[in-house]
Amino acid sequence: MTTRCGFAAIVGAPNAGKSTLLNRLTGAKLSIVSPKAQTTRMRVLGVLMRGETQVLLVDTPGIFRPRRRLDRAMVAAAWSGATDADLVLLLVDARSGATEPVREIARTLGKRGGALWLVLNKVDLLAPARLLPLTAELSGLAPFAETFMVSAANGDGLDRLLDRLAAAMPEGPYLYPPDELTDLPDRLLAAELVREQIFLQTHEEVPYGATVETESWRERPDGSVRVEATIYVARPGHKAILIGERGARIREIGARARTELARLLDRKVHLFLNVKQRAGWDEEAARLRAIGLEDPP
Ligand SMILES: Nc1nc2c(ncn2[C@@H]2O[C@H](COP(=O)(O)OP(=O)(O)O)[C@@H](O)[C@H]2O)c(=O)[nH]1
Ligand SMILES: [Mg+2]
């Protein structure tokens, strides 16, 4: 039996729907999603099987102009995801269209060479007539070998995309066990699910100023797991917001994250959250490493 296996990286501007696409294609909530930009901070791998082919799909942080050390590490992780891949998918929010950041990413990808496909996402939100001019405009910026129009939200066009992806993978042995969904360690997954709730339940700078680390992970004899996680916030005011009135907010964050984690792990979870203030965590190499990022030079 000849097997195929390769890496396909999803890159694009923040909010294009990269994480939604990864989750939809793998059928699992691997990468956290929120309506806010820059939710994804690290590279997340999804393992997809299509016949005798293993597609290793890589979700990346959005590409934008970085300011903080954290932002630089996120953008560096996105570009390195693209560099290591056999194929790069530029995912574009078709409703926002060819914005200047999208054009810049397209031009950069075009110059780097390598196999490049264009995927227009969120086609559920706009009239089909707008898609052709957009395709033409973007195609002028980089040599896309193929173009797809999809909705990561409702699944339109994804079957064809997955078929083409599988056919494009090079021959080779599987790099991951076929029944594995991701390379993300459970501890990191737990921290990410807490961070997702922070993105969904708090506003303005609060989610951007917070990071989550799993401090302890204890298997219990009854098959459940006891997880303790710390949320670090950059500002004292943010701590009060996260905790909420009489602890209501942090309880709600914990309750929802626990439900999601229990579903993904398929076991009972006890989740305990602490909130600590730690000014400047987003400039600390150790904090970046803790969330799977390498410190950029
Ligand atoms: N209507 C619609 N919304 C989408 C689609 N794909 C993603 N979204 C929404 O766009 C927002 C950003 O999605 P996310 O996957 O976090 O984008 P990322 O920053 O590129 O990873 C979320 O609110 C998603 O629910 C789509 O195909 N259609
Ligand atoms: Mg994302």
Q: Which domains does the chain have, with CATH numbers?
A: 4-168 (3.40.50.300), 186-290 (3.30.300.20)
| Closest among 94, 101, 97 to 150, alpha carbons compared | 94
pLDDT digits (tens, 9 = 90+) for 16-75: 999 999 999 999 889 999 999 999 999 999 999 999 999 999 999 999 999 899 999 999
Question: CB of 23 closer than 6 A to ligand 1?
Answer: no
| pLDDT for residue 297 is more than 90 | no
pLDDT band at 292 (very low <50, low <70, confident <90, very high): confident
- Which residues, 6+ apart, have CB-to-CB distance to 143 below 8 Å? 110, 116
- Spacing, Cα 89 to ligand 2 middle (Å): 14
What pLDDT is recorded for position 162? 97
Mean pLDDT of the chain: 95
Q: Is 201 in the pocket of ligand 1 (CB under 6 A)?
A: no
Check pLDDT > 80 for residue 295: no
Residues at Cβ < 5 Å from ligand 2 ion: 18-19, 40
Q: For residues 13 and 60, what is the distance between their CA atoms, to the nearest angstrom?
A: 10
Indicate whether this model's pTM tops 0.85.
yes
Q: Is a pLDDT exceeding 90 seen at residue 259? A: yes
Q: Is the CB of 157 under 6 A from ligand 1?
A: no
Question: Which candidate, 64, 44, 22, 37, places its Cα nearest to that of 207?
Answer: 37
Is residue 84 within 8 Å of residue 117, measured between CB atoms? no
Pairwise CA distance, residues 27 & 39, whole Å? 19
Pairing between strand 146-149 and 269-277? unpaired
- In this structure, what are the phi and psi dihedrals at residue 138, rounded to the nearest 5 degrees? -70, -35
Give the closest ligand to the alpha carbon of residue 15: 1
pLDDT digits (tens, 9 = 90+) for 232-255: 999 989 999 999 999 999 999 999
Mean pLDDT over 84-96 rounds to: 97
Whether 151 lines ligand 1, by a CB cut-off of 6 Å, is yes
Confirm or reject: Cβ of 119 under 6 Å from ligand 1: no
